[in-house]
Structure 1
């Protein structure tokens, strides 16, 4: 399905953020090291020696003074390290942040803590909230972010909104085989959708998945953005069915050669229906007759030839194959209302595979298999034996499904055929296109084959529930609208719409008028405030009889003159204040003050210079001009 997967026995299991470095960290925190070829379990790695920060002793939070006080363990992930802090449940967010600041040197005002329970995000943003009110477990994982100088406000809601659009890279290690799966997900995907996708690539049913690495407050309905994990995160995955149990003489055996799982009699088919291609007698090589002749003209003709030749070669009973083009088969299966939708099962046949006869005679003739295909799938068959037919089909798969599906088919070895590709719409693909949900090879035994089919059906129905609910709600809304349309006359609706538009227009005009008046009042108040400050800043005006006095005349834009006497040691700023006190605001009115001689822009000169320094003594004339 186009997902990266490889063996990685040397992967070090952690629940911390992905790709944490091994450089030395603070002495009071636990480091996470990726040690090559390490088989240390998650439990061992999380119990490594670490200095625990116990903050109950110096916060005046003696648990003995309070009833029902619990001690909480808070694992603070920051800067590729984990600080483990013990606090009583009566401690507040403010007290927690102060101690985090002491240990990490991140100021309280720049701390953004992620990982709180989604229902308690608002409470967690209040510094007075006690930890006891945040629905925390005995041990909790929180992520600390050091915000920038421009944004040192804890805006966790906005952070989650951004994370909904981010891509998360999840690395999952299967135990005990050590295989690694790396999957990309959007932050809007839920944890259940992650588990469903993992089922498709690992064959571990959701109900049998045992995870390590999720924060303690997560549930299946929570999105990755809300979960508190980083954009890169590591997990450990185990199959509950394969975990050691205390058996009393009865056990489930695993046939490693055939990849077949034997279950209890209650869950298996009849013994006579059992099929193991590697333990039964060596199959007879297939007949030379192919199900589709070489160089078939088109898919419709090929599907007819396939069905007719399949019935002739393998006889009754047999599943019913769809006759027509692959595009039509996809429309019939996937592009219907959710209640009518089915999965598309692509049966890939090859005449040169030694598994063909046994698979078709024993698996495809089984009544339960036939019934499962009929009720839940549109079955479409194609013979890949001839290169011409193979290339035509791969081109059609690329156009109708995806390039990933075409690559999956083209890279399938002949000894793994026949194979069934299960295709359907998925929420992960935006419900607009189809993708390969599961692949079942012909070397699967009968029980495993049926189990894989029904597991795919079960998971697909689980995904369809939301779409069915949305379609039902939409149908109900359409019905209500139709009833309303019949109940009201068109003229009445037109009058109501006209009246509503009139009221809306009047409201908009009134709102705009109010806005303009408010802005005007604010501007006037601002101007008056500036004028009063300037007036109060003016020095005392000297009398006509005093010496060392300069007379300043200023012509305003309307041609009128403003005149005042200043001491020669008064500054240019005093003149500007005099202009502002007469309601001519330099900045607000976009004015400049030009001296007559020498001609210069006084608004561009250092306002602290004296009149004598500016040669505005014993008298001077200036003009106020608009810029």
Structure 2
């Protein structure tokens, strides 16, 4: 830029930044706009962007474009333009600064402009008197290309820019993906051609490094900071952020989360106690008052109804101001604590000109990562598109996680069902084993009881048999022969002396295993008589006149 060596380094930087943000290729047009606004860069950007879609550009007549002959003349014109701009700011509001600016481009002076405006009847004479001055001071206000003698034309609108004009930001360069490596983040693509490290977004030092900008005043140093560097708590810092933000840009902003970054991540990406469907991406808004587009983006993009409503309904928005070095380092400290260093390494490569940033953060398979970012040069529609891309990607992740969760729950149900069936089977086996064991024990006890009963019975029978007197011989006299028919059909003869009591016959029957408690003894009389009930068992056979031969029958009661 040999033809602009009369500018200071700060003015050269402002001119370059103004062209980058507004995408004005005509360097002289950019220079004239800055000079007309007294080198107020933010105001010049806002004026240009707010009127970008509404201005009907007008080409100055060829007579207004004069060849440049020497640096002294050029320096004089620029100095006069600067003086004119300063004088215009002190004039009454009824004067149109664009009219004076047109006069300056045409070679006139401030006095001529004012005199023409105040005394219209003297226009002819004033013009004639000033003609030599006009001819002398006409210079080429456009930049000559190296090796070419052609000049560009100066374009200027007569519409006066206002801060209330509708904003429509056009991007200065195609926005790269947020997840780029450090090598690629230092260059961008301009008109399809690769450029070197002097790219529009990378002329300044990276955002994460300490540079001269930290020591020199900002364009907005007279403002109250969104987050003071001496805050005592996160709640205090974010409360101050919201209050100052609303004072600057109004209350039509998305709701800002008032907790720490860690709490915001947990609330957005985990939704504690709520289903997966209620998880939302986290939108981190990083503000920097050193950035050229900080006011434009905050007021016309973040506070636009389209962006604000989308963030309110589908995102958790967490804000932070990194204008102060202390706040910037604090942000990096929190990022390191959350073990998301990829975000820090990426942020450190961004120059201040890229800010403000609206970073969309998601979580996939327990990994927190940035999925998209909106730059300070993006307009509302571009920001909405990027937010929707991040939202759709996170919805895909949530759908996949929900499907995995359903599969996990299904597998868990199957495992629980199998475990329940297994426990039921074990319980049944245990019950069956216990039943068998119990039956076995009962059977054993029954057998032991029966054996004991049998043993007791045998012993008793032996005792009963032993209690009977010896059976008399067959040749003895005065005996009775008794035939006993037992219930099983067996029959047995037994001889008793007539002097023996009738009880001996009953004892003999019992000694054969037929207790009188369960059996009866019948005589052969007709009708038959129950021996126990019909006779006194203590009397002798002779006393009751028992037959010499008798058959008795034993049956069960």
Bucket of the pairwise TM-score, normalised by the shorter protein: 0.3 to 0.5
Higher-Rg structure is 2
Q: TM-score scaled to structure 1, two decimals? A: 0.32
Considering fraction of residues, name the structure with more strand: 1
Higher relative contact order (CA 8 A, sep 6+): 2
Q: TM-score scaled to structure 2, two decimals? A: 0.36
